[in-house]
């Protein structure tokens, strides 16, 4: 049974159709890559999932419940968290305080500050930031701020985590470390939808890939199937991507 479903969802902005009749699903502990050219509608999908936008039509379901019209905080409490393409840490707070703030929200929030601190320490250890837990977020480099964004999202105890271009700007070694982190998150029982342009990442972590072009799904299959799809090559990858 699917953990998450988009059922014929459409969203437009004035005369611009951002997502058209989009249907796809996600199974428990599955990683789905969501790819496509700029303007394809990927971030709009994330905004719809998390309640930041409401669809014009269609239904969104999570854990056998329709969440289409719920507010963002209600969706977070049910177990969906996200990161942002532009990192949005609380720069004046330490890394530890950022994650503690996350433990105040989401599924089963911490009941007291000692619990929030203890669990935040564990999450920072998981994400490789334990030795920088007392550093202000503003002093962290790009890689660590991206890790902190993931850590804060994990602090809400999600069942589904949405990652929005978390690998952009990283070098090869950093990408490999980030891939290991994502696989570790899935290993802990969390499902993921990953928006990413770095095809090494998509090929390395995805069980399945959904491809959008101008708001329309043009492919849904294994990474190997998708990269060989003529429509995907024409709309997004280009022939050089297969070399």
Is residue 66 located within the same domain as residue 181?
yes
Residue that is written with structure tokens 């995907």 in the block: 232
Q: Are residues 179 and 235 in the same domain?
A: yes
Residues 110 and 189 in one domain: no
pLDDT band of 239, cuts 50, 70, 90? low
**Angle 103-118-176 from CA coordinates, rounded to 5°:** 75
pLDDT digits (tens, 9 = 90+) for 148-183: 999 999 999 999 999 999 888 889 999 999 999 999
pLDDT per position as a tens digit, 206-220: 999 999 999 999 999
CATH code (residue 28): 3.40.50.300
Compute how many other C-beta atoms are within 10 angstroms of the C-beta atom of residue 98. Answer: 26
Question: What's the pLDDT score for residue 243?
Answer: 37
Report the mean per-residue pLDDT for the chain: 93
Run of H or E residues at 42: helix 42-49
199 and 101 in a common domain: no
Given a contact cutoff of 8 angstroms between Cβ atoms, the answer to whether 114 and 195 are in contact is no
Q: Contact at 8 Å (CB) between 230 and 221?
A: no
Among 157, 178, 195, the domain boundary falls at 157
Whether residue 102 is found in the same domain as residue 124: yes
State how far the Cα of 212 lies from the Cα of 137, in Å rounded to an integer: 34
pLDDT band at 17 (very low <50, low <70, confident <90, very high): very high
Name the pTM for this structure.
0.92
98 closest CA partner among 46, 52, 139? 139
Residues 110 and 47 in one domain: no
Shared domain for 166 and 149, answered yes or no, is no
- Domain shared by 100 and 197, yes or no: no
Q: What is d(CA 187, CA 164) in angstroms, rounded to the nearest whole number?
A: 20
Domains in the chain, number:
2
Could you tell me if 145 and 132 lie in one domain?
A: yes
Q: Are residues 164 and 238 in the same domain?
A: yes
- Which structure tokens are listed for 225? 């199937």
Average pLDDT over residues 14-22: 93
Do 45 and 111 lie in one domain? The reply is: no
Do 91 and 47 lie in a common domain? no
Listed residues 157, 183, 210: the one ending a domain: 157
Distances (CA, A) of 74 to 28, 86, 111, 123, 208: 20, 23, 18, 23, 28
The string of pLDDT tens digits covering residues 60-102 is: 999 999 999 999 999 999 999 999 988 989 999 999 999 999 9
Interatomic CA distance for residues 214 and 188, integer angstroms = 34
- Domain housing 97: 87-157
SS3 141: coil
- Listed residues 135, 157, 179: the one ending a domain: 157
Q: Tell the residue number behind the tokens 């997502």, with chain if given.
A: 19
């Amino acid at each position: 049974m699917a953990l998450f479903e988009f059922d014929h969802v459409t969203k437009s902005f004035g005369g611009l159709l951002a997502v058209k009749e989009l249907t796809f699903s996600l199974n428990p502990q599955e990683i789905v890559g969501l790819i496509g050219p700029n303007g394809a509608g990927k971030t709009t999908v994330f905004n719809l999932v998390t309640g930041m936008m409401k669809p014009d039509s269609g239904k969104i379901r999570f854990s056998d419940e329709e969440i289409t019209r719920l507010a963002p905080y209600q969706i977070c409490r049910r177990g969906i968290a996200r990161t942002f393409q532009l990192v949005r840490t609380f720069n004046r707070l330490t890394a530890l305080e950022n994650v503690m703030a996350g433990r105040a929200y989401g599924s089963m929030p911490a009941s007291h500050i000692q619990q929030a601190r203890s669990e935040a320490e564990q999450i920072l250890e998981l994400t490789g930031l334990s030795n920088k837990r007392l550093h202000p977020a503003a002093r962290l480099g790009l890689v660590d701020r991206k890790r902190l964004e993931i850590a804060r999202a994990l602090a809400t105890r999600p069942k589904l985590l949405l990652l929005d271009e978390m690998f952009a700007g990283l070098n090869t070694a950093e990408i490999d470390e980030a891939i290991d982190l994502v696989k570790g998150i899935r290993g802990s029982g969390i499902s993921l939808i990953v928006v990413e342009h770095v095809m090494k990442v998509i090929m390395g972590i995805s069980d399945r890939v959904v491809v959008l072009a101008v708001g329309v799904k043009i492919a849904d299959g294994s990474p190997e199937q998708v990269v060989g799809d003529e429509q995907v090559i024409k709309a997004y990858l280009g022939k050089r991507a297969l070399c």
